[in-house]
Chains A and B, each alone.
Chain A
């Protein structure tokens, strides 16, 4: 029992090594993976995730096109009207204007998602509407960025891309932020196509015919929607507000009357998946043929159809249960279009063929092994004592092994820059082990555990100080969005921490056993 207490550092190292082995090799161990997944892919030896540099694929990082006016004191029930007016003023598609009310009517934002509106033009348009924005800046709001990530993720998922990753990346101290999209097994052109792909939105009227069966008739097509906005109204709560193209408004209204919507109707049997099963008097909206909304027609709207006044103000509202639902209806009506366009012209793209990535994977492994071999030879040449040099190399390698286990556990995709981080970890690790070995071995005989302890503590001061500087030097990279470098910094920092807290002290214990045994 006392041996265990004395050697708890070695015990901890062994436990962590075993844990890493499990995380690395037992299928289904890391959260979010399943054993079947691992078994299905026979070529996958470990649970490690490879990034595109080591497995092929495409990464695109693109800024979001947009300009934002902040500090617009717009009331929640005014947002749709303001969006409509701003789009008229600027001569752009209403779909490209997003108005968000702030808390208690203050600090709302107006965003325009198009390249050809300048800050001055947006300010002028808002001032013409009687609003006085505090700042106008390039970029979009946090809310839009989150929606972007969500809808890009949706798109990637629905296009059967496995292992795609979507992230918002923003650089501290910069108003610019961008969306990073990684897709294994896709060419860049294909990925851009997926992102720009739009769905088909239609609106149908469903009503009973004279013979008792139901008629399902398309009343609005995609290009007949002039604009969609979600809105929190006082009288009706959250709604999605739909503007119909002027040219289509009269036809739409008369077709609605013919379908029996000249009077108020309520929709009874709305079938969520199949419009053919929907019965009653319903207005049904579909995206790519899938219904996502169905309602009847309220008395006011029915009257405007009947009196043919709808064309004068071709707007109808779709009531929703919550603001989120209103927002979802809005996004669906925008046909799966991204909330704002991505600026591919100013993007940063990287694409590797799986063949080259495979080549990199093998070659970097060989490179790493050769580097370890070189280190071993120098260490052996310096000490000439296998019992000092061998545990040193084993300890350094176990550091890497634990780090690999960690990477597998958090399912962090490995890229070339991370491998450089591994090599940095081996480098600093061996440096520290040399400090420990020299401190303990080179000052005469170690007679008691106490002498050992004091020497070890002295060595540890240097190691701790060196580790602290490495961590300080690397930490800015962790937060700066400098491409692959943040991964490199994370690996190095985690590696140094594992080293200082676990493996390097354990090496001290190993040495103590060896040295004290000699007596």
Chain B
């Protein structure tokens, strides 16, 4: 077992401008991706069945993907093999006529239905509305709480910006690698709000409420905070990999989104948030 120590970063080497440039540039790129997506597809994220409506069946069959595709009368959006399970496939449709789809599966020789699900466009639209409300309210509540906890503008807004960036970056990457927004990924994004704020609060608390120099406090907070985030990344990475192998889509997508978001959080907390705090401590207070 290799013991590891969180390395001490010499922040004095870098100017504020240099430090914030990286996370802000990444955030900007992510926002451009979302805006571009919005312009091209009419929605900033790729919506999955949960939000768009449609059907999904998991079947067990010896047929090839091409043969599966041809078995259905309804247009097939995708046929996806389940990792780690030979002969299991997830077939996705835009149609929410699940009765006909189930009928086809049951009538097709050598095809067994393991799971079937449908969301009507009506429910999809409702889910979209509720998810936006849910994430919005959660984010607003978190922001208010951050301000209530620290009662000063810069440290509080630092928490809010970095949480925002922690959510936007994984969403942009999801678009790029083709993960669709599902109820599971929305849950993951909300979890990110919680995780992201943990390390930010820890950092702010050490710098603002404790005695000791800025760099010393930052290092102490980092040692704890980085360990926390790494533990979570380890857990989520393992969950993402094993759930993908087992074909448990929901847990896999939660895992992937959290790994992405927590990695973004490392960057945002220890580059963006630290810099804002340093500016506040050394320059902002005097204004």
**Residues in A lying within 8 Å of B, measured CB to CB:** 61, 63, 171, 173-174, 176, 188-189, 345-353, 355-356, 359-360, 363-364, 366-368, 370-375, 377-382, 384, 416-417, 419-420, 423-424, 426-428, 430-431, 434-435, 438-439, 442, 458, 461-462, 465-466, 468-470, 472-477, 480-485, 488-489, 492
CB–CB A384/B195 < 8 A: no
Q: B residues 201-254 with Cβ under 8 Å of A?
A: 201-202, 205, 209-210, 220, 223-224, 227-228, 230-232, 234-239, 242-243, 246-248, 250-251, 254
CB–CB B99/A189 < 8 A: yes
Candidates A349, A472, A477; contact of B98 at CB < 8 Å: A349
Bound CA–CA A359/B223 (angstroms) = 40
Q: B residues 137-160 with Cβ under 8 Å of A?
A: 137-139, 141-142, 145-146, 149
Candidates B141, B237, B243; contact of A472 at CB < 8 Å: B141
CB–CB A346/B123 < 8 A: yes
CB–CB B190/A473 < 8 A: yes
CB–CB A416/B250 < 8 A: yes
CB–CB A473/B3 < 8 A: no
Bound CA–CA A481/B127 (angstroms) = 8
Which of B8-16, B33-41, B111-119, B272-280 lies on the face that meets chain A? B111-119
- For residue A492, which residues in chain B have a CB less than 8 angstroms away from its CB? 191
Given A348-B118, A352-B115, are A469 and B197 neighbors across the interface (CB < 8 Å)? yes
- For residue B107, which residues in chain A have a CB less than 8 angstroms away from its CB? none
Distance in angstroms from A102 CB to nearest chain B CB is 29
Check if B133 is an interface residue, CB within 8 A of chain A: yes
Distance in angstroms from A422 CB to nearest chain B CB is 11
CB–CB A350/B116 < 8 A: yes
Bound CA–CA A373/B241 (angstroms) = 14
- For residue B102, which residues in chain A have a CB less than 8 angstroms away from its CB? 188-189
Bound CA–CA A349/B56 (angstroms) = 10
Given A371-B238, A475-B141, A481-B130, are A420 and B117 neighbors across the interface (CB < 8 Å)? no
Given A188-B116, A352-B114, A428-B198, are A484 and B234 neighbors across the interface (CB < 8 Å)? no
CB–CB B4/A382 < 8 A: yes
CB–CB B201/A462 < 8 A: yes
Check if B183 is an interface residue, CB within 8 A of chain A: yes
Interface residues on B, range: 35 or more
CB–CB B113/A420 < 8 A: no
CB–CB A188/B201 < 8 A: no
Check if B184 is an interface residue, CB within 8 A of chain A: yes
Bound CA–CA A488/B247 (angstroms) = 20
Check if B268 is an interface residue, CB within 8 A of chain A: no
Which residue of B has the minimal Cβ distance to A392?
B231
CB–CB B235/A423 < 8 A: yes
Which residue of A has the minimal Cβ distance to B246?
A363
Given A356-B114, A461-B205, are A374 and B130 neighbors across the interface (CB < 8 Å)? no
- For residue A364, which residues in chain B have a CB less than 8 angstroms away from its CB? 243, 246, 248, 251
Given A176-B126, A482-B183, are A435 and B190 neighbors across the interface (CB < 8 Å)? no
CB–CB B3/A472 < 8 A: no
CB–CB B127/A482 < 8 A: yes
CB–CB A485/B120 < 8 A: no
CB–CB A378/B231 < 8 A: yes
Bound CA–CA A468/B201 (angstroms) = 11
CB–CB A371/B127 < 8 A: no
Bound CA–CA A284/B248 (angstroms) = 56
Distance in angstroms from A185 CB to nearest chain B CB is 15
